[in-house]
Structure 1
């Protein structure tokens, strides 16, 4: 899909319509495409650290209008968590049996983690599933977050809630490709550092997937 890469608009009404149209167009094209950590590491495989069947999860890519333009809602996880402690992440988690699909799961998790009322999040569409090395098959849900909103971090999971300009995240010049050694091999991943926040790994990979879906 070919689309303009101009992300300078400041009116979220325009951007929400644009995003909804592009996400719907992407969903309407028959494809078996999935994305994930393995895209940059094809020799490792999609579930590098997990031996069992994949576990379904969902995250919320919340986009909110600000005076400076659209911004993306992210969290800084608390440092005491057993996994991904202290990392930047989207609100989200495993899809529970009681959830009616990934949209409901993403909205539930956002309410639990950052106090976002589901009535204030208007889903616009979803990205292709993102496969993680830890065995999750994550469905990213893109939603417009409507004001007035006040985020209340759940101290058991979230240390802070912050926002990053949509324009910054959708600029491929800010998509760094880094690597670390893992089991004797170089493992590559995206990183998008912003204002002292280290956005990398799965979160950066999902942001890159949003860019690829909407602007390429």
Structure 2
């Protein structure tokens, strides 16, 4: 069952009760108690129809090459918080000016198997936006329809071996785009909030 796009949905989603998530929860193992590096990602929905801006990471990157991701990254020393990091990275990676983004709020952090505490930042993109991908970091900037992102039934569980053990993760493929891992888990959590 699909949810129709409404800008009010983002605010309502933030009021739904849910705790932090992790890449470990599907395997029934507790997340390791380690020091995590803070990061912020921007879930930027266009005001017109709720299409979500995503990137395909550059194939030459050392970490997560070719993966589908929300714009964002780790906190740099000049960032005041995860929101600032998400907005800075969105500007650097895809040319999105922070002045075009109405910030709605943040979701609880998501712990990745690679040792990050990723805070999703929700925002609405106002006006026209023509992406300018940074070629060293981004191979492609594209959007996915709100109806796909907002439907929990689109997210299914797959498994693969990683560092000697089986890992389970969510996927939500759309055409040529294989949305999976932490990005899919974050967006599935948001989709569930839309239905609360």
Question: What TM-score bracket applies, with the shorter chain setting the length?
Answer: over 0.9
1:64 maps to what in 2?
46
Contact 2:94 2:134 in 1 (8 A): yes
Instruction: State which structure, 1 or 2, has the greater radius of gyration over its C-alpha atoms.
Output: 1
Q: 1:171 to 1:22 in 2, by over 3 A?
A: closer
In the alignment, the residues of structure 2 paired with residue 214 and residue 95 of structure 1 have an alpha-carbon distance, to the nearest angstrom, of 28
Q: 1:182 to 1:160 in 2, by over 3 A?
A: closer
In the alignment, the residues of structure 1 paired with residue 71 and residue 134 of structure 2 have an alpha-carbon distance, to the nearest angstrom, of 11
2:13 maps to what in 1?
22
Shift of 1:6: 4.5
1:80 maps to what in 2?
60
Shift of 1:52: 5.3
* Unpaired stretches in structure 2, ≥5 consecutive residues: none
TM-score, normalised relative to structure 2: 0.92
Q: Which moved more, 1:130-139 or 1:52-61?
A: 52-61
Shift of 1:207: 0.6
Secondary structure of 1:40's counterpart equals helix
Shift of 1:102: 1.3
Shift of 1:147: 1.4
* Unpaired stretches in structure 1, ≥5 consecutive residues: 10-14
Q: Which moved more, 1:69-78 or 1:33-42?
A: 33-42
TM-score, normalised relative to structure 1: 0.84
In the alignment, the residues of structure 1 paired with residue 171 and residue 36 of structure 2 have an alpha-carbon distance, to the nearest angstrom, of 24
2:28 maps to what in 1?
42
Contact 1:95 1:101 in 2 (8 A): yes
Moved over 3 A (4+): 182-185
2:162 maps to what in 1?
182
1:193 aligns with 2:178: no
